[in-house]
Structure 1
Amino acid sequence: MQNNRAHPSVTIPQQSRSPAYHPPEVYSPYPFEVGSQSSDSLLSAWDATPTARRPSTTLEVPDRPLSRARSTFSTPTISPPQPEIHRSASQRLTIHSNKHRSSKSETLLNGRSPEDDYVARSYTPATPGPAPSFEISPSRSTEEPDSRVNKLTRELSNMTLHSEEGLKRFQKGSLDEKDEAWHSLVPTEAREALGKHEVERQCVLFEIFKSERDYVYDLHVIREVFVEPLKSAAPPIISPGERLQTFLSTVFWNLEQITAHHERLVEDLFARQREQHPLVQSVCDVILESFFQFKLDYESYIEHYPLAEQRHRTELNHNKAYQDFVQRCSRDPRTKKRDLVTFLSRPVTRLPRVNLILEHLQKRTEPDHPDAQDLPVVLGVLNDFLKSTQPGIAAAESKVKFWNLCDSLAFNKGEIIELALYNDTRCLIYAGTLARRSKSEMDWNPWYDLHVALLDNFLLITKEEKLPGDAIRRLVVSRPIPLAYLRLGSFDGPPENRKERPEEGSFLRVSYRAMYPFTVYHAFEKATRRYTLYASTEAARTKWYEVLVNTKAVEDARREGNRFFVPQVVDDGTFRVPGPRSGRSRKHPSGRVVHAVSFIASGGKRFMAFGCASGIYIGRRGETFRKILSYENAKSIIVLQDFNKVLIHHDGYLLSYSLEVLARVVQYQSPARALDASLETIAGQDGAVICCHAGKVKDRTIVVYAVKAFLHTNVYALEVCRPSDLGIQSSWNLQFPTLSFRPYGEYFYLPQDPYSVMTLTKTIAVATERGIAIADPQNTGKTVISIIPDFSGAPSNSTMGDLKAHCEASRPLGLVPCDISELMVIYDTMGCYVTKHGRPSRDSSFVRWEIKADSFLHRAPHVLLFCSEFIEVRDVQSGRLDQVIEGADIRLLYAPNVRSALPLVAWRGGKDDEAGLSEQIVELIDTAEITPVTPGSGVVVPPDVWDEWEM
């Protein structure tokens, strides 16, 4: 940063000088030669300047001050001309003198120490004599640059010897605060000689030195007052030790590195100040060099700062010991009654503060000064850096606002709402105050304010409550709406007037404010969860529309790329239901598909059977499906592959056919009447079969079904066997007309009609309106039936009583295993957790579905809930909503018991012609994560851990 252009020079006329005073044998580290000068001598202020040098690693001034020769003036007044004096800071000042300088030893031999001599040379009142004057020379001097600079420095130094001690005390920080200013360290004569403009520039430069010294002092205060006592506190203020280390690293981040950088910077600045005081020319090179050294550390700290402040405030609100510690620290005199947040924000505000000072310095710099070219470079670098940190700061501040929101949320008691709030990808998109109108006509003012927050996965509608200590609690007035279910209504309605409460003293004056409505609603509960919210301005309503649309689009794209189950079309067009264009068609549509199953016949050929409104259609995938059986709207179709049987529940009967014969008929290898020979009627003669299910119980294949009696329901269990396996027939067996099934234990009865039946490892479960009934048909004594969840403790437990009320208002569907110690009871509107003994767990809390399910499917670790419009995929362990599949007229056709078989689902297809509306059959294919799973990270369930509960 050098400039070699011609500049104005300053010379001191010969007639204005006072006689030079040379004390004998005085130690002077910078001996300036005082000789006579002609009046036409020229002096350039910036032809040669000192460069920065690295002093010792201390912030104190050296014990030996950098003294200059002293001049006395006959009168304290100085002539009025105000020249502009400049000097570049691109190279170090080197001064050569031919005059002999007394050595330290000579001085000591004369009985004077350097310190005594320094005191003797301190500034004293001037003696009468002619006053020096500074004049602008009309021509450029031919003297050497060093000589001209030395002359100017010498003249100013002769007037400012008294500032040496003040400068030393200023850099040590021991000077009175009122004296810590450039004009306090420079005589009046020198200030008037330099002129107002240069004085202002020197004051700005001095502010750089002062602010840097104070900044380093505050960084030391953070370490000495806050960090070190927190580490060494006994007993510990934050425990255990791991939490303390996490706290220190989060709150104080990389302050040690920043402190080290600025300790070096303040040393370099003080060295420049000692070399050039009182006429400091530039510090641009020092600041720019240091900036490139600490840039990365500052970027990291500034972007992390909001998180550090939030961690400090959280600990302050939850830890009384830490609160007392911070109060004690604030009473330390070194903090000057400032709190920790003020100190933590010092690095954040430091660079903008330096930027402002340099901008002020630029305004006080003449266009022909070298800093006029150097300062824009430094300011450009600083401004670019500050702009680059804004996105990081905004992201951190958004995370802090999100954490504050999470900490303030209050949900309904007993309900598990898994928002995955502390997921790394979770963030707050937008939040603000919106109004809503009460539906009651009795309210004088039906308007009330809500705090609405849009996350990246949910929309939260809350009502704020002020708590003591400026804390805020946000009550969730409506269950959070997942963005997958969020729908946008009208955003262009006319404004409505909101009546404002009259001010105090003006009871009759009522004012109105325009409010701009918009509507959002839940896709499943369109009528009951529809919200009309009001923004205070049209711009605010437009902003909400934009963020809602954009956030939903991002969430839709994220869900599309992170699906746990992918629908794959099996058929679209074979099965039809009557549509608006099929009235005159001669074709008879198959009707709505209600059940499906797949099986393998001899020869390894795979077939699929579909139960429709008009009958049962069977065929191979990709080929034509034929109607083989005329059982309309069969309630269920069950394939027993190992026993060559297919069971059909139709019109209150449970029938059995041979799979092999069925496959031969489908392939035209046997006539249709061949099926009649393999028909077996399992149940239905003595009462209508309500529901049935097949599965494994104690390693036996069992068929369970319920039969409606007069005032109760009987539940039967049959073991599937081969005719060759049948032994001696019991009296009950002899009355049973089939050869492929035999009774499994004793039947039992229930007072209610069952919704469904299912098999467990050792028992069977029946879903009734009172709960899930568990029974063991092989209990040779009195059959013991238990109901889960077990609410026997509800009278003495209010939370369990609330859960009981919710369960009684819902319809139970079945059970799924959660982990090695819990089960989840599935209801149509909710799910709750129970222990292996059937008692409610997790403090009797429950998970509410977003839909009302009519069936479910367990595919570990998920449970899939089905309704006519949506398939909801939830994590069994946490209840978290992981995926939503949308469709029209959705039905679960096939829920396989083994993982290798794929579930089959039907919904409205994409064809609408004379043949009718198509039914689309899809398989739900499980997906896998792209990243490999760490071996041993999953939970391995022992095969015998469930005993009577595992499915």
Structure 2
Amino acid sequence: MTSVASPRAARLNISSSSAGPSRPSSTISVQSTSPHKPSVLRKLRSFGFSVAGRQRSDESTIPSTSLTPEDAARASASAYAELRTHDGAAAGGGGQPTEDGTGMSEAERARVENGYEWEVQSDSEEDNEPDAYSWVDPSLVGTERLRATPVGSSSGDTPSRLHSSRGLADNDPLPPSLPPRISSAPITSVQRPQLNPLDSYNLLVSYQSTSLTSLPASPRRPSLAGPPAGSTPSPHTSSEGVHTHQNAEWHEMVDCSLTESLSREERKRQGLWWEMIKGEMEYVKDLRTVCETFIQPLRDYQPPLIIPEARLHAFIAEAFSSVQQIYLAHASLLDKLMERQRTEWPLLTSATDLLLGLYLETVPLYETYMKNYPFADARVRREAEKNIGFRQYLSERTTTEITRRRDISVFLSRPVTRLPRVMLLIEALEKCTPADHPDRDELPMVHEVLNNVVKASQPGIESAEAKIKLWNIAERLLFKRGEIIPIHLDFLQVLSADGAPERRYDGITQYRRRPGGNILEPVFQPERLMYPFTITTSGGVHARTYTLCTATPAARDQWRETIEGAKTLRRFDLEGNRIFAVHTISVPSNPGPLVAAQTFTWLGRETIAMAYPRSVYLGWRRDSHTYRELIKLNTHMITAVSVLPDFGWLFVLSSGNLMAFSLQELIPASDPATWSSLGKDKAMELGEKDRQVAFVRVGVTKGRVLIVHAYHSRNSHHTHLFFDEPLLPTPTTSKSTFRRFATLTLPGQATELSFFRQTIAVATEKAFVIAEPGNPTYNVIPTYPSSGIERSAVTRMTSGSKPLVMYQVGENEFMLVYDWGACFVTKYGELSRNGNFLRWNLTPTNCAFRSPHLLLFDEAGGRTEVRDIDSGKMCEIIVEEKGTKAVRATRMDADMLIIGPKGLKQIVETVEL
């Protein structure tokens, strides 16, 4: 019966030594780690051994047997040499004794020494060919008798020691006495060539070398400089057709006969260890990228990107924490892992001791880093948002060559995600590790260490994330705790100062048990009477009401008198230093409610046009006796009027119809007696039929005076703009006419329009649209920067707010006015002034700009807020009756008029004396 020796029983060492100055000799020795006596060799007659690539202990209990170099060459010529015992019978010789009594010829005797014979297996026994790696008979492959990876095997010689015998086999031909090798059947398909141990080892060395070319050199990594002399070519350009790649798997690096001789669980275990070492390679490369690509260049950058120097060091400490110490520890671990992998190739016994030693030492480093990770990520993002130079520094390193186009946040998260991945690999290793393997006890220890680190760090990570969320909320707050927000005296009002006193207690009510009883009786703390009074800021939707309390009624009265006294002094100060004054304009008596008005110059005199629901009055601005009803519309409701005095036109918007009246026909001379009253039949229709004009504006753009009227689309959410250009009178015409200059269709419902040199700005219900008359393309502004801090504040304010109008406040700067405040943009629509914005105390419905002041009209409160756009300071408040509204200026140079319960008024800018 034929059996196979245990993998621990014997191993084959072939070494070359010098037998003399002229002829080298080879020694082939068989060593055993078995505790049996050497007499066991008599039982090895029918045992087959294969040349193995896996190394074992150098201890030997079997005496070495020497062969000549020729015999060694014959033995090594085949990857499947068989070792047999010899008891005096000739192999295939029929057992007939020869002259020396051995029954062997000289050729056979040359192959035998000390009772052992090397034979080349015939291809006819291919089905029973032993595995070249596992020292086992093929008949046992896949059975329970095949033992898994031997435990406790120590590192021995590397497979490079087999190179000498391989060289002899390649150089010396087989002796003629050996039977010729039977050729195998022709191969019809290209198959993967078999790898002997030396080739497989060189593939490993080449893979480690090409995978870690970017890692620093280490004295413990001498073989990474290149494969040993006489090794196989690079696995990427193998002349034998071996195809490997930089992300090779374990089964691709060894011969298929080895993988087939192992059990399914053992193959999986070896693959998992290979995956563990591959992951460690990538992890160390990423940590090195952090240290050498991000940290060190940031320290050495000139001029420094973060100043002062103390702030730079603090930023590096907070952003990168203990990553440099983690990198050094894992680089050392990788050295040891690769050294053990090369020593025990191709079957790695275990590396659990290395992992356990590393993670026990790095537990404090990982806990520190993981708890600090949320702060690090937030700090880097915030610095990139504020610091343009640092943002450019990061973008320069996010390339394919340096970081494979991965952002710095990916590298910062590597230590956080590495431990859970290792835990998953360890759990998988536990499932496929044999029950008698030492890893069965050590792997759970490593898993427990990592699990404790993750669990201990989780509360710190959650706490840090909560703090960051709280910081983000605090940044978005307009009023922060601890801030002193002054209340402007122009908005401060005392609502009540005579309320009934209220009880206030110094402490919490206590309960005491009555002696001898079971009922608790409340024991009240000393109470005090407080006297409240209420104040308000009266700022529209931003108004706030506060209730304050004093200890005595006299103190409350003193507070009220102090507030009213301060407001009186403020009022006197404003009367003598007002920026804008209010003048009253007389109007006709009892014609109805005034809906619109316009002032202009005609025939060299100040003229005013006042629109009522069904008529328009005109007259000289300083003489109310000249007011005449010159336009009368019995069936239409007038909503707006506009004047183009340079061309002599008066525009009336009535019930959605835009009509143009000639001023020369209305007021041909200075004498009111020559003035004529006109009706609808004398007007020129400018609007389109079956369309309702939303508004009309007059202005100058592209060097032309244009009259613009807008329609809101009925079927879509768009606005159609029509631009008409007035023409001067010709000798053949007595008055000017109009021609269609351009049309535009813009998204949204337009409410206001501003004219600029080459473009117009249309305010819709959600945004500002910039367009050029005659050009169908348009842009929506503002465009927000990538900076989160600048973007978040303005985006928060503009979202849900109503755009009012756009003004040009500088050569290349514009102001976007909303109902909540205003922001500044460049001529390209990008935010300027570092994203700073103004915030109103009122909720305006209309506004007017008189550089450098912006007037905001609050119709509900009857107040007008005056702001300096350069400093953002509120200059004054113009207080009128509630319900006072500003007349929308249809011309950019129109006067500021307000209509209130007491009539028409004009706001005039004063001159500093």
In the superposition, the TM-score normalised over structure 2's length comes to 0.43
Question: Greater Rg, structure 1 or structure 2?
Answer: 2
**Higher RCO (CA < 8 A, seq sep 6+):** 1
In the superposition, the TM-score normalised over structure 1's length comes to 0.41
